[in-house]
């Protein structure tokens, strides 16, 4: 039987971010003896992002817990490998079959401080600098904000326009961290998605990117998922 320490945690970053956004979480999970991989998601199309996650999963061994932040929630929904024992959503999007990511993202009203987002001439959406401190992670330190701005990676408009095929959350255990101070994805939308997935829900007064601003809470939810499916 698989044990806690046999598991590999696969972390998928969201839009406007890269694997460094998980640094504090990675450090703490590694300190506890877990294997951790941050999946590099190209953000060039939903299909290409899903393929990138599959490549990372193929490089691992043993049971997996796959974790997605924000946009990557949709991406981890494609993780249907039998070794994936649980999915963990961190203030993440979870479109259902036939829905697009944009449809769930804009399901409820936007926060007054949410950034105005529009694609550039090449079809990529960039986060304006002010968006990082006002909505992406308003509780972050100035150093964290500066790094987030420096490493930001845009997301292709077509990534959020593709319809989702059968998501794996329909047949895997799911945990969901709801961020009640989220200014990017309406907390009301998060509650709706978590309930629809029949997820184990944990609710915190954190911003959109608790992996930066409340990593201990993110780690706790991931560990709960590990312990919940591996005995």
With tokens 């199309």, the residue in question is: 45
What is the overall mean pLDDT for the chain?
Answer: 95
Instruction: Please give the model's pTM, rounded to 2 decimal places.
Output: 0.96
Domain 4-229 has CATH 3.40.50.1100: no
pLDDT in tens, 110-166: 898 989 899 999 999 999 999 999 999 999 999 999 999 999 999 999 999 989 988
Beta strands in the chain (DSSP E): 8-12, 35-39, 64-69, 84-90, 124-125, 155-156, 174-179, 200-204
Whether pLDDT at 3 is above 80: no
> Residue 218's closest CA among 82, 31, 46, 91?
91
pLDDT in tens, 47-76: 999 999 999 999 999 999 999 999 999 999
Cβ neighbors of 113 (< 8 A, separation 6 or more) are 134, 135, 138, 183
Q: Of 2-6, 23-27, 185-189, which range is least confident?
A: 2-6
């Amino acid at each position: 039987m698989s044990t806690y320490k046999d598991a590999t945690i696969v972390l998928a970053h969201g839009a406007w971010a890269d694997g460094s956004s998980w640094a504090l979480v990675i450090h703490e999970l590694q300190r506890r003896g877990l294997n951790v991989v941050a999946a590099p998601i190209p953000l060039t199309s939903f299909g290409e992002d899903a393929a990138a996650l599959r490549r990372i999963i193929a490089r691992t061994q043993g049971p997996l817990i796959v974790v997605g932040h924000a946009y990557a929630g949709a991406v981890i929904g494609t993780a249907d490998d039998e070794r994936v024992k649980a999915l963990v959503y961190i203030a993440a999007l979870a479109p259902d079959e036939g829905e697009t990511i944009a449809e769930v993202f804009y399901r409820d009203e936007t926060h007054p401080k949410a950034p105005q987002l529009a694609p550039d001439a090449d079809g990529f959406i960039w986060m304006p600098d002010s968006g990082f401190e006002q909505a992406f992670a308003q509780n972050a330190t100035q150093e964290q904000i500066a790094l987030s701005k420096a490493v930001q990676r845009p997301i292709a408009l077509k990534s959020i326009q593709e319809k989702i095929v059968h998501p794996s959350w329909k047949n895997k255990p799911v945990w969901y961290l709801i961020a009640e101070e989220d200014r990017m994805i309406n907390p009301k939308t998060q509650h709706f998605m978590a309930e629809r997935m029949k997820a184990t829900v944990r609710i915190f007064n954190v911003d959109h990117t608790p992996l930066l601003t409340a990593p201990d809470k993110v780690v706790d939810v991931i560990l709960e998922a590990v312990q919940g499916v591996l005995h």
